[in-house]
Chain A
Amino acid sequence: TQLLEQSPQFLSIQEGENLTVYCNSSSVFSSLQWYRQEPGEGPVLLVTVVTGGEVKKLKRLTFQFGDARKDSSLHITAAQPGDTGLYLCAGARGTGTASKLTFGTGTRLQVTL
């Protein structure tokens, strides 16, 4: 059972366009992380959001955690070719040392000139 669904699965846009990626679940998470993965490499953390309704910005990327801590979104403004990659959300259940991360299905983004 996939607890975290991401949409869209694939996105191909031109440089300068804006886009939003969604991460949805019926489960409540204690925190939500976003990772970006490039071919042949492991995922790299972009941001962690912990509080319901929290908004974090990382340059042109804006991350929001849903009020009920069941969903999240990633908005990219004026996309650039360097934003190309696989974006993964990951929800944590529990807050102790045994907290486990469940990853979403991924959104593959391609930004062309």
Chain B
Amino acid sequence: NAGVTQTPKFQVLKTGQSMTLQCAQDMNHEYMSWYRQDPGMGLRLIHYSVGAGITDQGEVPNGYNVSRSTTEDFPLRLLSAAPSQTSVYFCASCRRSAYNSPLHFGNGTRLTVT
């Protein structure tokens, strides 16, 4: 069972570069989300989607774009990387609602912006 797959696992960018973090799930989950994890801050929600074609902002959306053209995929785009975006990024999905469904997480992408 693949679950939630994130690529790449590690990435180094220079300030101003752009890139896309990939996320795919094979569980037919409607809900998908992106979090960033920083020391002492827990996980903070960047963007989320409740189904194909529907996206919304979380707590820290600035500097990031998302799209949801299929149920399976939910890529996160960094438009112009900044050192403040150095973090570990997690994609997570659940069946329908985060209220009562467990979030299934990928293993993360560690991003460093120099």
Chain A residues within CB distance 8 Å of chain B: 2, 4, 6, 9, 30-31, 33, 35, 40-45, 48, 50, 88, 90, 92, 94-106
Contact = CB atoms under 8 A, between A and B. Distances in A.
Given A88-B42, A103-B35, A103-B44, A42 B97 contact: no
- The 10 A-B residue pairs whose C-beta atoms are closest, nearest first, are A42-B105, A45-B102, A99-B99, A103-B43, A103-B42, A92-B99, A97-B50, A101-B98, A95-B99, A105-B42
B99 A42 contact: no
13 contacts: A4-B42, A31-B100, A43-B90, A45-B103, A50-B100, A88-B42, A95-B97, A96-B97, A97-B96, A98-B48, A98-B97, A100-B48, A104-B42
A31 B99 CA distance: 6
Contacts of A44: 105
A4 B92 CA distance: 20
Given A30-B99, A42-B108, A92-B99, 10 more contacts: A4-B42, A9-B40, A43-B43, A43-B103, A95-B97, A97-B31, A97-B50, A97-B96, A99-B98, A102-B59
